[in-house]
Each structure stands twice: as C-alpha cells, then as structure tokens.
Amino acid sequence: MLETPKKFTVLAGSAEGPTRLNAFDNALLAAGIGNVNLLRVSSILPPHAVQVAHLEIVPGQLMPTAYGTITSENQGETIAAAVAIAIGGPAEYGVIMEFSGRCTKEEAEEQVAEMARAAFLQRNRELQRIVVQAVEHRVVGIGCAFAAVALWY
C-alpha cells in the first residue's frame, strides 16, 4: 500500500501533437507533469495535505493524480479541462472533481466548481474554499487540454 500523500499541486496545460497520444504527452509536459508515471486516482484530497505551487519530481516516479483531459482533431474547436478541490477544515479530507469538454475555460471552471460544491453538499460537509485550475485550447491539428491535482509526498 502506498503512503498517504502529504502535498498537492494543481496544474494545467495544453498542446498540439502529431498524434492524439503525442498531444496528450505534450499537454502533460506543458503542465509540468510529463516526466512521471501518472497513477489515476479518484477524487479525495487527504486530510492535512498542503498545497505546494511547484512539483518536486524525479523522472519516472509514480504520481497519484486526479485529472480531466480532452483531445480533439477538429480544427478550430475550443476544448477545455478543469479541476476543482472542495476544502473544509484543515484536518478534514477534501473532494476533487475533474471536468473536460468542448467549451471555454470559463465554462469549464463554472462546471467543475459546481461539481465540487455538490460533492461537499452530498457529504453534509461545510465548505470553506474551492481551488480551481483550468485551461482552454483552440485546436490547430490535434490538440489536448489537461488539468490535474497531483498528490505527492
């Protein structure tokens, strides 16, 4: 079993690539998380986790990550990805929501923030703040938008 992460970083990036996978990989690089192995996790921020602005990574390490992503080959299309963290008291766990769609950054931010509020309401929790990160991308050839919450140690 992995230990419980103590830190989190919220990030987003977008990019083009010659293939869908390259566009995704380039979006990861743009977000600053391209040289690790993502372990996709569901949506709980551990209690006492501290937000850190920049990742401290070792290439190839395993990184638990909750993320939203979208890739498109429709030239001129606007795509967006967003994450939101609903946070209560410092000793309580938080809830992470992810969103991606064919929309603007602002629309993605609104949607994911509402999802985070609804998750806290469903849990009968008192919401103190919401952290949101989003990115928008206008597709040129093959584009990808990626937003994430990286959980680390």
> Which residue is catalytic, options 14, 26, 98, 100?
98
Helices and strands (DSSP H and E) totals, the chain: 2, 9
> Which residue is catalytic, options 14, 26, 43, 72?
43
> Which residue is catalytic, options 37, 73, 74, 77?
37
State yes or no: is 42 an active-site residue. yes
Q: Please state, in angstroms and rounded to a whole number, the distance separating the CA atoms of residues 45 and 99.
A: 16
- Total residue count of the chain as it appears in this document: 153
Question: Mind giving me the DSSP string for 8-38?
Answer: EEEEEEEEE-SSHHHHHHHHHHHHT-TTSEE
Q: Please state, in angstroms and rounded to a whole number, the distance separating the CA atoms of residues 139 and 17.
A: 10
State yes or no: is 37 an active-site residue. yes
State yes or no: is 3 an active-site residue. no
Question: Cα-flanking dihedrals φ and ψ of residue 115, to 5°?
Answer: -60, -40
Q: Which residues are catalytic?
A: 37, 42-43, 98
